[in-house]
Amino acid sequence: MKMEATSPMAAAQARDAAENGPARPVLEIRHAMKRFATPEGQEVVALDDVSISVAPNEFLTLLGPSGCGKTTLLRVVSGFEDLDAGDIFIDRQDIAGRPAYRRPVNTVFQTYALFPHLSVARNVAYSLEIAKVEQAETRRRVSEMLELVGLAGFGERRINQLSGGQQQRVALARALVARPKILLLDEPLSALDKSLRGKMQQELKALQHELGISFVFVTHDQEEALTMSDRVAVLGQGKLQQIGPPHELYRTPSNVFVARFVGESNLFAATVSEVGPAHCHFRLADGQEVRLPRRDGQTFSAGDKVQLLARPEDARPSPPDNGTGLRFSGPVREVFFVGTHYKLVIGTSEADEPLKASLPAGEDLGAGPAPGQMIELWFPASRLHPLAGEVGS
């Protein structure tokens, strides 16, 4: 389902970008630059040439470590910060210089920022009252909205009489009631406990689907990003590292930063030993060699230092006789049983870092590998993905 929904969109966007024609997206950020001067007299580059566009009805997630510029990106869109350079278009209109209160975007703040002196209903009605919407109409839309977020009957409560999850819903209702073109959500779920969080993730997704509003969702939780989004934009040090559908980010990250940040990873240092017309050969430090098909846009030349990425779940316990891949063996250091899988940490002589493997907890594994036991693993070539650059970067 999700794949079908996202791929035409991604294709359309690619076409847009190629034609460089009039922007179809509801939100388009072009070459955004933002620097801050710190009190210590230094300069922080919060946004470094970031270009992102958001399609109608898209759920886009901004993912990145703390301080990478996610909040800053939302704030330049909502109008609380000005860009040093670059442009922002909402519905094809350049909104430079337009004050925050005249932008058709609404925000769900990380701390909710609900008005403590107003009731739940008045909080939700706020934007309608400002827009001088008729009273009866306001009442109708507020109760409709409260019902939608599951808070029917809570209208007269005060904000401090609500739980964290309920406050979260009020913030959502308040931001959505005026039907913005784009909803910006800055880590809206980070204050909730894990189970409530999972529930809210599903509800948010359902709500977005129902309302047909584009969501730009900020999180530093990669699992949340992968499960909820149509596309994910990974930010690191103010730069856009990669943008694409979750599976693309996970399977074919464009650099080591993305590979490490999205999902768990094993990275093997390798050297390009041979470049053919359709394939590249990579040699590991321990002498193993593997041949991988060349992908679009990969420009390796012989002698380049690269990293080969293999996800823990790509590990196979018993290598078949035919088929290419990488073999490793070593003692099991730790075993975690997670129901469907055994997660193993394996020490190998070659890799600097211990290997991570995840094996299905089928019958053949029984009670699972024991710590200290020697184990042999195999990663099929089809699951390996070469990345340019050193691990440290």
Partner 1 sequence: MKRYGGLSRLLSVYGFLFFAFIYAPIVLIVVFSFNANPVNMMIWDGFTLDWYRTIFGFPARLTESTLYVESTRQLYGAVRNSLLVALVASSVSTVFGTAIAIAVARFRFRLKSFYRAFMFMPMIMPDIVLGIALLIFFVSTGVKLSVYTIMIGHCTFLISYVFIVVSARIADMDEKLEEASADLGANSWQTFRRVTLPLILPGVIGGGLLAFIISMDDLVITYFIAGVDSTTLPVFIYGMLRRGIKPEINAIATIMLVFSIVVASAGLYLRARRK
Ligand X SMILES: Nc1ncnc2c1ncn2[C@@H]1O[C@H](COP(=O)(O)OP(=O)(O)OP(=O)(O)O)[C@@H](O)[C@H]1O
Site of interaction with Mg ion (CB under 5 A): 71
Rounded to a whole number of angstroms, the minimum distance from the CB of residue 108 to Mg ion is: 13
d(CA 251, CA 214): 25
Residue type, 93: Q
151 to 180: interface string for partner 1, x by CB under 8 A: -----------------------xx--x--
Provide the minimum distance between the beta carbon of 367 and ligand X in the complex, in angstroms, as a whole number: 41
Q: Nearest distance from residue 41's CB to partner 1, in Å?
A: 17
Residue 367, both tokens: 């009670």
Residues between 114 and 143 with contacts to partner 1, criterion CB under 8 A: 114-117, 126-127, 130-131
Using CB under 6 A as the binding rule, the residues of this chain from 4 to 43 that contact ligand X are 36, 38
CB contact at 8 A, 107 and 185: yes
69 binds ligand X (CB under 6 A): yes
Asked whether 230 and 245 are in contact (CB, 8 A), the reply is yes
- Which residue's Cβ lies closest to Mg ion? 71
The yes or no reply on residue 220 touching ligand X (CB under 6 A) is yes
44 binds, among ligand X, Mg ion, partner 1, none (CB under 5 to 8 A by kind): ligand X
Q: Residue 235 and residue 270: Cα distance in Å, rounded?
A: 26
Would you state the structure tokens that stand for residue 77, as one six-digit string?
């869109």
Of 61, 78, 167, 201, the residue at the interface with partner 1 (CB under 8 A) is 78
Q: Does 71 bind ligand X (CB under 6 A)?
A: yes
Nearer to ligand X, 66 or 160 (CB): 66
Question: CB 109 → partner 1: shortest distance, Å?
Answer: 6
46 counts as binding ligand X under rule CB under 6 A: yes
Report the relative pairing of strands 325-337 and 374-380 from DSSP bridges. Answer: antiparallel
- What does 38 bind: Mg ion, partner 1, ligand X, none (CB cut-off 5 to 8 Å by kind)? ligand X
For residue 91, the minimal CB distance to partner 1 (Å) is 17
Which entry of Mg ion, partner 1, ligand X, none binds 138, CB below 5 to 8 A by partner kind?
A: none
Query: Any idea of the CA torsion for 220, 312, 391, 282, to the nearest 10 degrees?
Result: -140
Cβ contacts of 324 within 8 Å, gap of 6 or more: 290, 291, 380, 381
C-alpha 169/C-alpha 187 separation (Å) is 14
Binder of residue 126, out of partner 1, ligand X, Mg ion, none (CB less than 5 to 8 A by kind): partner 1
Binding flag, residue 113, partner 1 (CB under 8 A): yes
Is residue 68 a contact point for ligand X (CB under 6 A)? yes
Task: Please say which residue, 186 or 314, places its beta carbon nearer to partner 1.
Answer: 186
To ligand X, the closest distance from the beta carbon of 44 in angstroms equals 5
Any contact of residue 70 with partner 1 (CB under 8 A)? no
Instruction: Quote the tokens at residue 144.
Output: 């409709």
Distance CA 153, CA 133 (A): 22
**Contact partner at residue 46 from ligand X, Mg ion, partner 1, none, CB < 5 to 8 Å by partner kind:** ligand X
Residue 304, token pair as written in the block? 């380049």
Contact of 92 with 25, CB cutoff 8 Å: no
C-beta of 35 vs 333, nearer to Mg ion: 35
The footprint of ligand X on this chain (CB under 6 A) covers a number of residues equal to: 13
57: left (phi over 0), alpha (psi -120 to 50) or beta: left
Residue 303 region, left (φ>0) first, then alpha (ψ -120 to 50), else beta?
A: left
Query: Residues 41, 43, 45, CA angle at the centre, nearest 5°?
Result: 165
Distance (Å, rounded) from C-alpha 96 to C-alpha 94? 6
B/e letters for 254-286, b = 16+ CB within 10 Å, e = fewer, are bbbbbbbbbbebbbbbbebbebeeeebbbebee
Give, to the nearest 10 degrees, the angle between helix 120-130 and helix 135-148. Answer: 130
93 is a site residue for partner 1 (CB under 8 A): no
Binding site for partner 1 (CB under 8 A): 78-80, 99-102, 105-107, 109, 111, 113-117, 126-127, 130-131, 174-175, 178
Give the footprint of ligand X on this chain (CB under 6 A). 36, 38, 44, 46, 64, 66-72, 220
